Amino acid sequence: MDILSNAGIFIYPLALCSFVAVFITIERLIALRPSRVMPARLADAFISGDLAGTGVDGSSVAGRIARFYQEREPDAEALKAFTRVEVSRMERGVFLLEVVIGAAPLLGLLGTVTGLTQVFGGFSAETGLPDPGTFITGIALALNTTILGLAIAIPALAAHAYLLRRVESLAARIGLGVQALLQSKTE
């Protein structure tokens, strides 16, 4: 617990960054489950372009696209535009991980500079030596904020990369389904 208590005031924005990263990661992992994007019962029909006989509901991304296709019978551009909107909804909140990836190390660096300022500002005019208490507090602040900033940013970076890859993979499957729907419409 020393690492948290020695981070000074910087613990609050770093804790906020940590909370945001964990919340967004868990929320996106839940939202990007296969059952929420392209359920198994709909996947084959959607990708083959034959939606006849499948119960299409709006509880999944593919379901909303299929329902839009069935109810409105849109042209190719309208269907592709609706698909882009649905894919962008899958990316919702992921940009906040980018903010955390950038902000957490910078907050750590700010804590480092603040700690070093305390160290160098704590030299005694009479002896020319630093006050031991100020020296220890300043070094602890400098090191602990750096550690915390990196400890938050590194997992957030990994989560961000994983979530983006997952969205890209799911978007490719959805794109394949949309293409199949458009081809079945022209036949």
Dump pLDDT digits (tens) for 121-163: 766 666 667 777 777 878 888 888 898 999 999 999 999 999 9
Count Cβ atoms below 10 Å from residue 71 Cβ, excluding itself: 9
pLDDT value of residue 15: 92
Look at residue 130 and give its three-state secondary structure.
Answer: strand
* 58 Cβ neighbours under 8 A, 6+ residues apart: 64, 67
Task: Show the tokens assigned to 18.
Answer: 């940590």
pLDDT value of residue 1: 55
Reference 24, options 170, 126, 176, 160; nearest CA is 160
Counting residues of the chain whose pLDDT is more than 70, the rounded percentage is 87
pLDDT tens digits, one per residue of 17-32: 999 999 999 999 999 9
pTM for the whole structure:
0.82
Boundaries of every domain in the chain: 2-186
Amino acid at position 40, single letter: A
Determine the number of helices (DSSP H) and then strands (DSSP E) in the chain: 8, 0
Ramachandran assignment for 74, one of left (phi > 0), alpha (psi -120 to 50 degrees), beta (any other): beta
Are 107 and 149 in contact, with CB atoms under 8 Å apart?
A: yes
Q: Measured between alpha carbons, how far is 27 from 23 in angstroms, rounded to an integer?
A: 6
Lowest mean pLDDT among 36-40, 100-104, 107-111, 150-154: 36-40
pLDDT value of residue 163: 96
